[in-house]
C-alpha cells in the first residue's frame, strides 16, 4: 500500500473511531512510556476497564539496555502474570547522539530497547496465555511514517542493516531527518518477524499500531525555534489529541478478540487492520525483515544472555 501526504491530511481530519472497551477483570497490563502523552492516556482507558494490575513503566532513555533489564527484573519480582504489554517508548531526534551502548539514540530507544523488553517479557506473556486459556497481546507503537521511510539501497541490501544505519556514513543531518521514519519501519518489521517466529499454538498476538500525528511529548528532543514553530502549527492544524491517538493502542490490545488470527502480525490504523507499506510486503522488504531480526537477536543476546534461552524455547 502507498500512502501520500494528501492521504495523511485526510486521515488527520477524519473522525477517530471511539475507544474500544472490554472487561479486564483479573488481568495485568503493562504500558511502557506511560508517563505522558498517548501512553498515559491509554493507561487511563485501561484503568476504567477494571484490571487487577495496571503498571505504568517509564524507562530512562539515557541509560540504554541497562534500564530495560531493570524494568524486566522488577516486573518478574512483582507480577506473576502479564496479559497485555504495550510498548510505547519512542523519541524523535534530528541530531546524532550515541548511547552508552554505542548506538544512535533513536535507533536504540525506538527499536533495540523496544525489542529487548518485548523479548524479555515474552515468556510471561506466553505463560499467562497458557495458564488462563486466552491469548495475550503485545502491542508495538509504530507510525504511518513508515510508509515514507526511504531506506538507502546499501542498508536494504546489507546483512547488518542496523550497524549500517548507525555507521558514520549515516550520521549527517539529512540522514538523521530520515531516522524516525526508519525506526518506525523497523517497529513494523519487528512485530511481523516476531509473530512469524511464534508457533501457531503459542497464545500470543503481536501487532503494531499507528496513533497518527498527536499532541504529545514525542517531539521533546527537537531543537531549533523554527522547527518547533513548524511542528506546533502542524499539531494545531492536523494533530489529534493524545487521548484520540491512544485509542489505537487500546485497539491493538483488546480489539477483534473474536478474530484473533486477523490481528496476528497486523498493522493497525484507525481501529482497523491496514495494509503496511509496499516495501514491507515486498520480497525486498521480507529479506530486510529477516536480516533485521537476525541482527537484532545477535545484538541483544550479547547485551542480555538470557535471551538465548528465551529464543530457543519460545520461537522457531
Angle, in degrees to the nearest 10, between helices 225-238 and 5-13: 60
Nearest-angstrom CA–CA distance, 70 and 135: 26
Among residues 93, 105, 118, 143, the one annotated as catalytic is 143
Cβ atoms within 10 Å, residue 217: 17
Neighbour count for residue 292 (Cβ, 10 Å): 20
Contact 228, 201 (CB under 8 A): no
Place of cell 490490545: 253
180 carries an active-site annotation:
yes
Please say if 153 is a catalytic residue.
Answer: no
Catalytic residue among 184, 246, 267, 277: 184
Residue 28, all three cell numbers: 495485568
Closest listed residue to residue 197, CA positions, set 273, 252, 118, 131: 118
Degrees, nearest 5: CA angle 28-32-34: 100
> What H or E segment, with its residue span, contains residue 28?
strand 28-32
Residue 250 burial (C-beta neighbours within 10 Å; 0-12, 13-18, 19+): buried
158 is catalytic: no
- Active-site residue, selected from the candidate residues 147, 180, 251, 267: 180
Q: Which DSSP string do the residues of 151-201 spell out, in sequence order? A: --HHHHH-SSHHHHHTSGGG-SHHHHHHHHHHHHHHHHHHHHHHHHHB-TT
Strands 136-141 and 84-87: parallel
Q: Which three cell numbers stand for residue 257?
A: 478478540
User: What are the residue numbers of the active site?
Assistant: 143, 180, 184
Amino acid at each position: 500500500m502507498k500512502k501520500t501526504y494528501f492521504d495523511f491530511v485526510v486521515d488527520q481530519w477524519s473522525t477517530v473511531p471511539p475507544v474500544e472497551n472490554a472487561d479486564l477483570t483479573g488481568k495485568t497490563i503493562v504500558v511502557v512510556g506511560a508517563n505522558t502523552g498517548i501512553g498515559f492516556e491509554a493507561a487511563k482507558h485501561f484503568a476504567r476497564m477494571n484490571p487487577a494490575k495496571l503498571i505504568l513503566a517509564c524507562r530512562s532513555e539515557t541509560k540504554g539496555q541497562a534500564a530495560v533489564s531493570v524494568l524486566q527484573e522488577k516486573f518478574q519480582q512483582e507480577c506473576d502474570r502479564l496479559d497485555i504489554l504495550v510498548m510505547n517508548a519512542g523519541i524523535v531526534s534530528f541530531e546524532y547522539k550515541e548511547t552508552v551502548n554505542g548506538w544512535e539514540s533513536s535507533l536504540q530507544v525506538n527499536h533495540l530497547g523496544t525489542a529487548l523488553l518485548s523479548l524479555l517479557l515474552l515468556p510471561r506473556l506466553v505463560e499467562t496465555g497458557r495458564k488462563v486459556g486466552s491469548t495475550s497481546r503485545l502491542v508495538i507503537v509504530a507510525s504511518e511514517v513508515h510508509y515514507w521511510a526511504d531506506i538507502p539501497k546499501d542498508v536494504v541490501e546489507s546483512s547488518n542493516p542496523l550497524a549500517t544505519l548507525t555507521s558514520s556514513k549515516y550520521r549527517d543531518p539529512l540522514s538523521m531527518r530520515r531516522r524516525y521514519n526508519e525506526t518506525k519501519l523497523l517497529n513494523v518489521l519487528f512485530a511481523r518477524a516476531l509473530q512469524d517466529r511464534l508457533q501457531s499454538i503459542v497464545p500470543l498476538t503481536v501487532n503494531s499500531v499507528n496513533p497518527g500525528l498527536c499532541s504529545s511529548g514525542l517531539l521533546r528532543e527537537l531543537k531549533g525555534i523554527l522547527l518547533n514553530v513548524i511542528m506546533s502549527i502542524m499539531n494545531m492544524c492536523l494533530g489529534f489529541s493524545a487521548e484520540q491517538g491512544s485509542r489505537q493502542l487500546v485497539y491493538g490490545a483488546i480489539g477483534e478478540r473474536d478474530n484473533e488470527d486477523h490481528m496476528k502480525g497486523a498493522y493497525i490504523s484507525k481501529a482497523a487492520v491496514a495494509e503496511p507499506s509496499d516495501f514491507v510486503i515486498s520480497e525486498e522488504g521480507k529479506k530486510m525483515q529477516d536480516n533485521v531480526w537476525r541482527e537484532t537477536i545477535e545484538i541483544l543476546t550479547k547485551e542480555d544472555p538470557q535471551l538465548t534461552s528465551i529464543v530457543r524455547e519460545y520461537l522457531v
